[in-house]
Amino acid sequence: MDTEQRLIAIVLFDGVDLLDVTGPPEVFSLARRETEEAAGYDVVLVAETTDPVVTAAGVRVLPDATFDDMAARRVDTLLVPGAVEVDAERRVRAVVDPAVVERVRRLAPRARRVASVCVGAHVLAACGLLDGKRATTHWSTARQLAAEHTAVEVDADPIFVRSGNVWTGAGISACLDLSLALVADDLGEAVALRVARQLVMYLKRPGGQSQFSVPLEQVDATRRVEDLRHYILRHLAEPLTVRRLAEQAHVSERQLTRIFKNELGTTPHAYIESVRVERARHRLETTDATLERTAAACGFGTVDTLVRAFRRRLDTTPSEYRHRFRTVPAPVA
């Protein structure tokens, strides 16, 4: 049994999202309780001063230490939450304070690993910690992250991404999934699953699980693209080639590819696959259909193709996904 005491330093600053700060300590606290004979975690909230920090929710949080106090302490995990602002048109943007960036840049090299919660990925990116790495963030600011930090491979789909000793997590409740993954990395899957049960979470979601439903994703698309999206949904079980979609939209195949890239940020093939995976996920969660029937109904054709798509998109298999997220009773043998 692991008996190492791990110091988790969570960065605080005015306007920080409250759940980003309070969610992870709950996970680490339960891990300490669920682990026999283990010292577990010591969570410290760190800010510029020890004065109360006002979160985005208006709740005041009292820091345990200052950044200067951490200079002589060994940090196991540096956890960086984020903050957003919403304009008059309800558009969300991540807010990055240069002073916080500088503090994180100095502290990060002294940490065994660094993790961002939600839009905290923008802070890590501003520090240069995500250059050349794959990373995720809340889907609402993913385009901003990609536009402002071109050296970062932004993937808005997963719940969390690990790239070496740098972890990035998606938004809101996904901070719990990220924290559980950190616990599993330290103390093993069994401990993480016990913590998940205490949190009344439906076990642990695999990191590759999508943040949101592809067909419901909000994008700024033209009517022609919207019509194509609905056409794809109606004919998902059928062969959907670029030629067929181009004929449906009355454009050339090259123009169709350009339209998808400009308006949806992806290729026709990748978009169709993402929608098929989403449909398959729903069937695996809510029906007892075999993998063969699921593959056929969602347009994959074969189980092998279905499995490859799940591994590529969700980093898991259809069988494992059904085991974790099934919402209907398993059939009686």
Active-site residue, 118 included: yes
User: Can you read off the two tokens belonging to residue 272?
Assistant: 């169709």
Catalytic pick among 118, 127, 175, 298? 118
- CA atoms of 259 and 222, how far apart (whole Å): 10
Closest CA to 19 of 100, 81, 70: 81
For 194-233, give one letter per residue: b (16+ CB within 10 A) or e: bbbeebebeebbbbbbbbeebeebeeebeeebeebbeebe
Give the residues across from 118 on adjacent strands.
Answer: none
- CA atoms of 96 and 120, how far apart (whole Å): 8
Q: How many CB atoms lie within 10 A of CB 293?
A: 13
Q: How many residues does the chain have?
A: 333
User: Can you read off the two tokens belonging to residue 170?
Assistant: 């998606």
- The residues annotated as belonging to the active site are 118
